[in-house]
C-alpha cells in the first residue's frame, strides 16, 4: 500500500494518543516497556471522556472503565498480554490503580498523575533557585537528563499547564491576581524555553515572581519642584542676566548710577 505525504497543516486534522515524553526521558520509568507506556497514553485519553461525564468517586478522583477486551482490541494483543501490561503499569510503575467491583463486573481504573513523583525530585532544587542562579540549575538538570536537541520543546505544550505540568488553572489565576499576567507568563515562558523540568508549579513560579519584583527597581518619581517647562536662553541673554545680577549686588542702578 502506498501512502501520500503530508502537505501544509494536514497533520493537524487527526486525533492522536498523547504519550508523555517524560516516560521516556526520566530514569524512574526506564524499566517500563514501550507497550505499557503506550497503554498509559490510551488510558490518559479515556480520562478526558470520564472527566467530561463526571465519573468521579466520593473523593473527587476521576476513574475510567476500560475492559481487558478493549485493551486487546486497542493494543492488538491477546488476553495474557493485556493483563501483563496492566500489571506492569500498576505493580511495577505505580501509574494506575485498579479497584474490583465484584464478580463479572469490570474494575475501576484510576490513572495516576505521573508528574507528581517527578516534580518532587526536582522541587527542592527549583525552590532554592533564584532568577540570578537559574542558569546553573539548567546545567545541572540538563546533565542528569541528557542533551535535548528538540528545539520545538515538545515536553510541554502551551495549553497543557494544568494537565501535565502541575500548574492548575486555579493556581494560574491566583498567581495572575497577585503578580499580574505579564509577570506570571514571563516565568512560564522561561521555564518552557529553558526546559526547567519540575518547576512548572505554583510554589516555584510564586517564588520567582516575588524575587523578580524585588530585583526590578520601581520607576523614578518626577520631582515636582523641577516639573515645569524649561526655557532655553541664548548666550547674549545669559550675559545680560549676569550683568544685571552683578549690578544689583553692587547696589548699582540699571543705568550704572550709585
Residue 136: predicted pLDDT: 45
The DSSP string of 2-29 is --PPP-TTGGGGS------THHHH-GGG
Residue with cell 502541575: 166
Residue 145: predicted pLDDT: 42
φ, ψ of residue 111 in degrees (nearest 5): -90, 120
Task: Please answer whether residues 201 and 188 qualify as being in contact, where contact means their C-beta atoms are separated by less than 8 angstroms.
Answer: no
Question: 17-111 — its CATH code?
Answer: 1.10.10.10
Task: Please answer whether residues 148 and 203 qualify as being in contact, where contact means their C-beta atoms are separated by less than 8 angstroms.
Answer: no
- 27 pLDDT band, cuts 50/70/90, is confident
- Give the tens place of pLDDT for each residue, 191-217: 877 777 677 888 888 888 888 776 555
Domain positions in the chain are 17-111, 115-215
Distance (Å) of CA 180 to CA 42, 120, 160, 209, 210: 37, 27, 20, 10, 11
Residue among 50, 44, 51, 52 at smallest CA distance from 18 = 44
pLDDT of residue 9 exceeding 70, the answer is no
Predicted model pTM: 0.48
DSSP 8-state class, residue 62? B
Alpha-carbon gap, residue 97 to 91, rounded angstroms: 9
Higher-pLDDT residue of 49 and 8 is 49
In 10 A of CB 18, how many CB atoms?
15
- Give the tens place of pLDDT for each residue, 139-190: 444 444 444 444 344 444 443 344 335 577 878 888 888 888 888 888 888 8
In 10 A of CB 94, how many CB atoms?
12
Amino acid at each position: 500500500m502506498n501512502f501520500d505525504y503530508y502537505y501544509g497543516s494536514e497533520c493537524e486534522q487527526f486525533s492522536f494518543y498523547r504519550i508523555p515524553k517524560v516516560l521516556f526521558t526520566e530514569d524512574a520509568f526506564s524499566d517500563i516497556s514501550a507497550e505499557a507506556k503506550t497503554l498509559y497514553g490510551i488510558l490518559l485519553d479515556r480520562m478526558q471522556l470520564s472527566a467530561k461525564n463526571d465519573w468521579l468517586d466520593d473523593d473527587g478522583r476521576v476513574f475510567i472503565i476500560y475492559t481487558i477486551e478493549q485493551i486487546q482490541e486497542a493494543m492488538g494483543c491477546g488476553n495474557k498480554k493485556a493483563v501483563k501490561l496492566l500489571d506492569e503499569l500498576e505493580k511495577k510503575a505505580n501509574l494506575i490503580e485498579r479497584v474490583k467491583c465484584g464478580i463479572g463486573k469490570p474494575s475501576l481504573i484510576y490513572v495516576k498523575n505521573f508528574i507528581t513523583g517527578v516534580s518532587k525530585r526536582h522541587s527542592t532544587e527549583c525552590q532554592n533557585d533564584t532568577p540570578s542562579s537559574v542558569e546553573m540549575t539548567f546545567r545541572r538538570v540538563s546533565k542528569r537528563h541528557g542533551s535535548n536537541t528538540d528545539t520545538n520543546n515538545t515536553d510541554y505544550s502551551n495549553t497543557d499547564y494544568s494537565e501535565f505540568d502541575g500548574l492548575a488553572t486555579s493556581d494560574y489565576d491566583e498567581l495572575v491576581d497577585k503578580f499580574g499576567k505579564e509577570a506570571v507568563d514571563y516565568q512560564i515562558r522561561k521555564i518552557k524555553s529553558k526546559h526547567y523540568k519540575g518547576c512548572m508549579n505554583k510554589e516555584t513560579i510564586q517564588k520567582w515572581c516575588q524575587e523578580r519584583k524585588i530585583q526590578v527597581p520601581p520607576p523614578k518619581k518626577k520631582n515636582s519642584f523641577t516639573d515645569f517647562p524649561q526655557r532655553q536662553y541664548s548666550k547674549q541673554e545669559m550675559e545680560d542676566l549676569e550683568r544685571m545680577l552683578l549690578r544689583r549686588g553692587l547696589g548699582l542702578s540699571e543705568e550704572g548710577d550709585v
